[in-house]
Amino acid sequence: MAKRSTTIPYSFVSLNGANGAPLYRQLYDELRTAILSGQLRAGTRLPSTRELAADLRVSRNTVLNAFEQLLAEGYVEGQVGSGTYVSRSLPDELLHARTLDARTTRTPRAGRTLARRATSYTHARVNVSRDPQGTRPFRPGTPALDAFPCTLWARLLARRWRRPSADLLGYTEPAGYLPLREAVAGYLGAARAVRCEAAQVIVVAGSQQALDLVARLLIDEGDAVWLEEPGYLGARAAFKSAGARVVPVPVTAEGLNVQAGAESTPEARLVYITPSHQYPMGVTMTLGRRLALLEWANRAGAWVLEDDYDSEYRYVGRPLAALQGLDAEGRVIYLGTFSKVLFPALRLGYMVVPPDMVEVFTNARGLASRFSPTIEQAVLADFINEGHFARHIRRMRALYAERQAILLDAAARELRGLLELQPDAAGIHLVGRLPAGVDDVAASRAAAAHGLDVQPLSSFHLKRGGHGGLLLGYAGFNERQIRAGVRQLAVALRSVMRDKS
């Protein structure tokens, strides 16, 4: 087949030095589009790089780079001593594609099928939305990002990057960077009375990944799982997505009502619990209930999943010992996260599993996402081992106690008769009780209209009913934000009261 020579004017090529993309990339995109749309047909000879550069008034290197990319991807082919031609090996359906514009993408045909388990993800969402105006008061779970020692962290990070070893840049163990696992095991033993070796610690991408691993490894479809009522939404979503039958078990002033759970669902496969500082109510599980739970789990052959999400922040006395430290039968899996004590974007957490479960959890961790970024793990290990972590927690404990006091003072001044707040000896949020009959969902929406992010207590319940309330996080907000936020909350709640009356 004879090659077609071309003298076509390249009027379809439009290069703009101000659009941010390199000129060679713009030229590549224009030529690729012309080839795929049929403007440049198979076998068409392209101008020489020198000729095209002169026509387009760009450097020859720009054209060379564009041609090299097209050649590497098979859109053009070179003939020694003859020139560059549009490839003849492109599939006919690609050569006559009508457009590359994503706006013309066809609507998927009806009847697409997913795996049966995929349907459980339809409503199993985890709140990951980002407010374009920044985090608004009083979003729960937000630490004091303004008080994080960024300069120190940057120095530790730069030190690691200055002379990184091969084990920091290559593949590593799915269970995590060993020095970090050793540091976590040492910290948990001293601060939380957790009994474990470094080999039992598995580094994960936050507690939500740990929940997903537990759900996939320990729960079969249809298994019953006890969940605190009210309880953590992320845990509920993980268990439901695994096909579990989530059973709400009431929480009283003493913590999870073990007897109620045993009477309603004695065949439960797993129990999810936040014993040190129940989420969201903030109560601490008594020793009697902890021992009763472990005794029942041993008899029933059930697993206990202990989520110790913010135990570092206790303002009265010393941090409480973990439930895991009382477990003599290896029924407890312990979860922790650095999102609340450092910053959420770090995406590092950990789980402590019984020795006989290490291999299966490590393999599952590797299949989920290979391993967490090693450099960040190494920096965190340095942060802990050099004493910065303990100092940061001490500073934050004092700061959060102060911010809770500010919130309580502002509420006493502005929210009397609108929202009742009581002090909490631990944690980074408070639960406020609304007057009887006031819809907490409506209150939450009204607060959002006034620039606030407060969550309705009813959203944490599986069963309807109960007294309405609002969750107010305070750790991540300074005095000015807290006081201004409380004033706006008062305006929002008064509007709800007026509508109710």
CA–CA distance, 206 with 373 (Å, rounded to integer): 12
pLDDT tens-digit readout, 197-216: 999 999 999 899 999 999 99
CA–CA distance, 284 with 132 (Å, rounded to integer): 36
Q: Looking at residue 172, what is its pLDDT?
A: 87
CATH number at residue 454: 3.90.1150.10
Nearest to 461 by CA among 279, 270, 268, 320: 279
CATH number at residue 313: 3.40.640.10
Among residues 369, 386, 403, the one where a domain terminates is 386
pLDDT at residue 3 tops 50:
no
pLDDT tens-digit readout, 235-269: 999 999 999 999 999 999 999 999 999 999 999 99
Query: Residue 478 sits in which domain range?
Result: 391-500
C-alpha pair distances (Å), 128 with each of 125, 234, 447: 9, 11, 19
How crowded is the C-beta side of 251, counted as CA atoms within 13 Å? 26
Q: Over range 421-448, report the average pLDDT.
A: 94
Q: Looking at residue 99, what is its pLDDT?
A: 46
Q: Name 115's Cβ contacts closer than 8 Å, sequence gap at least 6.
A: none
Q: Looking at residue 165, what is its pLDDT?
A: 86
| Both structure tokens of 308 | 């110790």
Q: What angle do CA 225, 226, 228 make, to 5 degrees?
A: 140
| Both structure tokens of 194 | 């957790």
Q: What are phi and psi of 132, to 5 degrees?
A: -60, -20
Q: Looking at residue 122, what is its pLDDT?
A: 61
pLDDT at residue 464 tops 90:
no
Give domain status of residue 228, yes or no.
Answer: yes
Asked if 170 and 229 sit in the same domain, the reply is: yes
Answer for the pair 444, 294: CB distance below 8 angstroms, yes or no.
no
Asked if 424 and 376 sit in the same domain, the reply is: no
Percentage of the residues of the chain whose pLDDT score is greater than 90: 63
pLDDT at residue 450 tops 50:
yes
Specify the DSSP class assigned to residue 118.
Answer: G
Nearest to 496 by CA among 446, 455, 456: 446
Three-class SS state of 270: strand
pLDDT at residue 96 tops 80:
no
Asked if 345 and 425 sit in the same domain, the reply is: no
Among residues 103, 132, 166, the one where a domain terminates is 103
Asked if 262 and 372 sit in the same domain, the reply is: yes
Q: What is the DSSP string of 298-345?
A: HHHT-EEEEE-SSTT-BSSSSPPPPGGGG-SSS-EEEEEESTTTT-GG
pLDDT band at 7 (very low <50, low <70, confident <90, very high): very low
pLDDT at residue 294 tops 80:
yes
Tell me how many domains the chain contains. 3
Q: Looking at residue 222, what is its pLDDT?
A: 94
Q: Looking at residue 100, what is its pLDDT?
A: 46
Asked if 182 and 278 sit in the same domain, the reply is: yes
Which has more pLDDT, 107 or 341? 341
Q: Looking at residue 22, what is its pLDDT?
A: 87
Mean pLDDT taken over the chain: 88
Asked if 407 and 452 sit in the same domain, the reply is: yes
Q: What are phi and psi of 85, to 5 degrees?
A: -130, 150
Q: Looking at residue 319, what is its pLDDT?
A: 67
